[in-house]
Amino acid sequence: MIKLYGVPLSNYYNTIKLSLLEKGIDFEEVMSPPNQEADYLAKSPMGKVPCIETSDGFLSESSAIMEYLEETHPAKPLLPTDAYARAKVREMNKVLELYIELAARRHLGSVFFGAPRSAEATEEVRPLIEKGLAAVKQLGSFDPYFCGGDFSYADIFGFYTFGLANMLTQAVYEWDIVAEVPGLGATMELIGSRETTQTVNTAMQAAMDAFMEQKKSA
């Protein structure tokens, strides 16, 4: 059985957990925060979460994991069958990762972990996200899903990317980036209403509540 390493506070972990649930793949969760211990680095070379343990071996990097799951469990596809349409889903996810998630992530430390807010990041991140949002608008259909009529990996990755990035942009800029993309709010609601997503989100919320509680008493 596949083992999924990570923590439910992680948007990347939740992306893979939702992918596994959507595909109906049996898996076991191994609670493991990101770390630089030799034992964990042997599993996930950057020490990041998630990683999975399969009968073939360990695998890290969410996009590689998603591709692996698609190839090994094609019965419930999360990529379209047409080559161009598949590439468009991958294009969307790359844009989401590079120009929304990683850009907004520069504020993670200051918003959640008490790090000082960087003036440089505050200035640089917003224009990058503006460009990313323009690309997401251009590429997405939101009719009703990110890339058209079928639920795909773009919805899974997009849901957790915007979930985190929007918290960060609201905290730093009072800027609701979901509201910037016509149709995205309804798509987010639709994805959030799935039973699978609710399973993931229940665990995420419990972890978030515990984290906030711990922060208050620290």
Ligand X SMILES: N[C@@H](CCC(=O)N[C@@H](CS)C(=O)NCC(=O)O)C(=O)O
From candidates 4, 5, 11, 52, binder to ligand X by CB under 6 A: 11
Q: How far is the CB of 83 from ligand X (least distance, A)?
A: 23
Q: How far is the CB of 34 from ligand X (least distance, A)?
A: 3
Q: Based on the shown chain and the rule CB under 6 A, indicate whether residue 10 belongs to the binding site for ligand X.
A: yes
8 Å CB contact between 151 and 78 = yes
Q: Of the ranges 5-13, 132-140, 155-163, 189-197, which one interacts with ligand X (CB under 6 A)? A: 5-13
Q: Find, among 1, 56, 73, the residue nearest to 30 by Cα.
A: 1
Q: Find, among 29, 30, 1, 18, the residue nearest to 76 by Cα.
A: 18
From candidates 8, 32, 34, 165, binder to ligand X by CB under 6 A: 34
Q: Based on the shown chain and the rule CB under 6 A, indicate whether residue 187 belongs to the binding site for ligand X.
A: no
Q: Based on the shown chain and the rule CB under 6 A, indicate whether residue 196 belongs to the binding site for ligand X.
A: no
Alpha-carbon gap, residue 169 to 87, rounded angstroms: 28
Q: What b/e string do you get for 21-48 counting C-beta neighbours within 10 Å, with b at 16 or more? A: bbbebebebeebebeeeeebeebbeebb
Q: Based on the shown chain and the rule CB under 6 A, indicate whether residue 61 belongs to the binding site for ligand X.
A: yes
Q: Based on the shown chain and the rule CB under 6 A, indicate whether residue 62 belongs to the binding site for ligand X.
A: yes
Length of the chain: 218
Under the rule (CB under 6 A), what is the footprint of ligand X?
Answer: 10-12, 34, 47-49, 61-63
